[in-house]
Structure 1
Amino acid sequence: MRQVFVDTGCVGRLAEKLKTESSEDEMIVARILFLTTYNTDLSFKTLITEHSLGENINYQITRHAKQLPKSGKKTLAGTDESAFTEVLKLLFNVGKLNPDLADAFTQSTLYMLKTISRLDIPPQPLDGLIGHLINALSVLDLTDKPGKFESSPFFPKFNQNCNVDKLINVLDAAVRYYQTDQLETRIVLLIQLLITIYEQAPEGPRKYMEWLLLPEDQDRSAPIGRSDTLSSKLLSLTTTPSVHLKTAISELMFVLSGKSPEKLTKNIGYGFASGLLASRGIQISQGSGEAFASNQSDTNPAFNPITGQRWDAEPQDTGPAMTQEEKEREAERLFVLFERARANGFIAENPVAQAVREGRFEELPDDADSDLD
């Protein structure tokens, strides 16, 4: 039936009728055009070049963005929201199925971001209009090429952080609301959008994104990944079976760390970093392990290189003192672990071997216990 409709030759006139002030008409027209994106031979290039489809989609996105003032109501009327949703779904399909046509919608980038920044985050953060806006943005080429934008739509002069702040708040709300098996189809595009924004961000917004998305001191009161912060929740999701979700979070953390394995290890701990880097086919160098040997700043405490937890926050052993035999077994176990860490490039030298070489190792006689009594 869809192809039969396309064969009537009416689709061009329908695309022209998308430019309307009536949200009811807009909703119907956009829905019909959306249905023609499947299983037809319709040329959307012709609709864009000869029937103003791109221009009319941009018109409706701008119109709806202006329905949300800077202050006042933070939601659209039901009919307006439904019509806007249909237009965004149409844009997504046209751009996804015809990547070479996506530039026809570039001028709407600013208005889509404005809409996201002004909308309230709903209880189901990505099931409504915000989710469709992020989907639509995902099919556009958002790289800031010379002459593409008059000024960056991501970092407005009045507040360079407003867009990234809202998008990260949406991500935080989504991670807290949805079940793990629901997240892959919902937040991967949002994470990819944040990566795109970060890679072209000036220093201020970059630092702001790092502050919001990377573990902070408060995360390090426990092993990283166990606190209630967004960074910990994201890192804990890298242990799920979801390949696309793990890949997206891995890429985000890697980019936020300047694409440096050493800095990534310092930011999130060897435990998480080793898995994320292995998934990218990157081997951790010796310098990565040594990155944790020093503090992040003059005032920060040292961190456990494996868990990322502060040394002074780790639980203290309050049990009975070990016997000499238990100490020897523990020493042997630690020696083996140090050897594995050295073999994997995490440390440059086994600390025990280093102590022997430097003359700081003393082997006690078998009757050492009796001598101490």
Structure 2
Amino acid sequence: MHYSPLGRSGLQVSRASLGAMNFGTSGHVASCDEPEARRIIDAFLAAGNNVIDTADRYTGGESEGIVGRAVRDRRDSVVIATKAFLPQGDGPNHRGLSRAHLTRALEASLRRLDTDYIDIYYCHQWDYSGTPIEETMATLDGFVRSGKVRYLGCSNFTAAQLVEAQWAAARAGGTPFVALQPQYSLISRVIEAEIVPTAQRHGLGLMTWSPLGSGVLTGRYKENVTPEPESRMGRLLASPAPQANRWARELLTERNLRIAEEAGKVAAELGTTTAAVALAWVRDRPGVSSVIVGPRTLEQLEQNLAGLDLDLPKELAARLDEVSQPENGPVNGLPASAA
């Protein structure tokens, strides 16, 4: 099993992280009941992986509860990551990155996870409500000093926001972020221009999410072919919610499907799957410490782990680099090939 240090820290993380967003039966995105989630967690840890990623908002808190029960007897060998920001109530102080909300959210996550500490505690997104970043970073530093949190991270921050947060921590002599969770895949490379170089300069390891482009990079969808009604994109396109329909159309673009097609050709040459190729490509990018996969079934987990073990030759990685360049031209922050 291959482990990497998480950013500028001594925490060793496996190349695969288990995303627990689908664990539970509450909410619209839930699709994995507790018995199946337990099988997935058991198989993931048995394979030598050690990071499980959840959030207080996932399935109304049910995800955290499932993870906590599943790892109770092996807690010290598991790296648990969770997040706070999203609403946990109707009041104005039940959301965001204020000291009031973060303190309440941390205590609630500790209860649901049935643990004394959280290994990586993330700010789920930037707080635009006016909370000073100095207040957020001081509060998080207090969590670390209390022993309730061991490492800090952020999700979906811009490059400028990363710098502001790290500077705020440094000015106060506090604890900086060592992890960043960005969206990253062959069809979503926008972070390469500014966010990846900034994260590397400031000591943050990337724990990437949506490496399969919401399923587009599985090879299931083809240009000029209507998605099957039972598929994820089929359900979204049929949804009465305009936002869901629009999101699906934005994913199923000619460019994205062309990238998926090329990943499929590479997969055929290697005798593997399109998804495996897409996962291996993300795994090998600069600054990536771990790739978050979010299986709903044990079979999906096994396929994902096989992809993260795939040896992707340099020349094939270069082909994928070329076909997946952003539409506004090559990125400025990274070399053409990360191999």
Give 1 or 2 for the bigger CA radius of gyration: 1
Please report the TM-score for the alignment, with normalisation by the length of structure 1: 0.23
Whichever structure has more strand as a proportion of its residues is 2
| TM-score normalised by the chain length of structure 2 | 0.25
